[in-house]
Amino acid sequence: MSEDLIDLDGGQTRMEAAYGSDDGDEDLFAITAKREASVGAIFEQNYRPWDGDFGPRWVRNYAIFRHHVFGLFSSKGHRNYNPFIRLTILVIFIGAISPIAMLFFSSLFGAEPDGFIDKMWGVNRSNLWGQVLGYFPRNLCYWPLLTALVVGGMISDDRRNGTSAIYFSRPVTRVDYTMMKYLSVAVVLGFVIIFSYMLYYTLAIVFKGEGWGFLIDTLPMFLAGLLCSILLVITYTSIGLALSSISQSRFFSAIAFLSIIYGTKLVALLIDLQFETSILYILSPYDCLAHFGQWMLGLELNYSHSLSLSVVSLILMNLVSILVLVSRVSSLEVTRE
């Protein structure tokens, strides 16, 4: 069909008729309806320069932090967390602040002081310890699961996808990279563990209408618990990130973390039951923290071995984890050989 027969604007077009009624000397055309022709768009490649300024080191570091932490709230534009992970973290957070609801109801119903609700959920040494270091459900379910979900893929994804090249070919140092990843995990864990602890203490005072005397009595205990919660966040973050840095799999780091937390506890428990010695609890990160926490809050110690062993073990666990983390981050490549 010749070009003049094509109606690019759409509408009607002329079509050469196959058979005519006259002698054939004249051209015959029929007018037909035609779909609008698509002419497409011509791609013109133009290089556009950019003349902006770069922010300082903290701007780059904040970008890493924001990418990982904001992803929990909105995966659009940030690191993608599976909706199941986000939902589980929400459930854990709600679980962690559940005593607040009990305190709220007790204040509504006017429960008597030192009654059942107050003993179970009110502010005292055991409950402040339990809010952070209680075994069930917090250290059996909540905190290990939370850590496993957050650290899974934090560094291993960069190793698997090769995205470490995106970081290190830019002015991001390995120290900045490690610190920001560490801070991102610690802030998420801290938000759930430390924030829920602080919220619990503050709202307990508000709901029960306690005064300055109560505050002065309980503040040292609260601060001891706060220190324990910070230690717990640091320890779990160190171990979790170290495991994330040694593999290319999200699943491995998550499962390995849970195995370490539960496995060491189980082995120590079995040895304790069989031989009545608590010494193997120094292998369990949770028990070292719990032992230290009991001492800090002035509770009766559940462990027969020396506290210093637990403290030394805790320091060694953190040290080894950070050494592994640093060494594995150093091995992340920009160019692959």
Partner 1 sequence: MNEISSNKLVIETVDLVKMYGPHVALEGLNLKLESGAIGILGPNGAGKSTFFKCILGLITTTSGQGKVLGYDIKTQGDIIRSRIGYMPEYDSLDPELAALDQVRYSGELIGMNPAHATQRAHEVLEYVGLKDQRYRKIGTFSTGMKQAAKLACALIHDPEILICDEPTNGLDQRSREFMLQTLRNTVQQGNRTVLMSGHVMDDIQEVCDSIVMIHKGKIVVHSRIEELASQVDEEIEISVWGGSSRMQESLESRGLSVRRLGRLIRVKVESEDTISVILKCAVESGVQVRKMGEYEPDLEDIFLLIMDKLGAEVKTTSDLMTSEHTGGVNNE
Applying CB under 8 A, which residues contact partner 1? 43, 45-52, 54-57, 59-60, 63-64, 67, 76-80, 157, 161-173, 334-337
Residue 160: CB minimum distance to partner 1, A:
9
Alpha helices (H) in the chain, listed in sequence order: 57-69, 83-96, 98-109, 116-121, 125-133, 143-151, 156-161, 164-168, 174-208, 212-245, 250-275, 285-296, 307-330
Q: Which residues does 119 contact at the CB level (< 8 Å), separation at least 6?
A: none
Tell me the C-alpha to C-alpha distance, in Å, between residue 238 and each of 71, 81, 89, 314. 21, 21, 19, 11
Q: Classify residue 249 by burial, with Cβ atoms within 10 Å: 0-12, 13-18, 19+.
A: middle
Residue 35: CB minimum distance to partner 1, A:
22
- The identity of residue 268, as a single letter, is A
Residue 172: CB minimum distance to partner 1, A:
6
Residue 167: CB minimum distance to partner 1, A:
6
DSSP 123: S
Smaller CB distance to partner 1: residue 47 or 136? 47
Task: Return phi, psi of residue 180, to 5°.
Answer: -70, -35
Separation between Cα atoms, residue 179 and residue 174, nearest integer Å: 8
Smaller CB distance to partner 1: residue 14 or 250? 250
Sign for the CA dihedral angle at 122, 125, 126, 127 comes to positive
Task: Return phi, psi of residue 146, to 5°.
Answer: -60, -50
Residue 45: CB minimum distance to partner 1, A:
6
Residue 79: CB minimum distance to partner 1, A:
8
Residue 245: CB minimum distance to partner 1, A:
17
For residue 189, the SS3 value is: helix
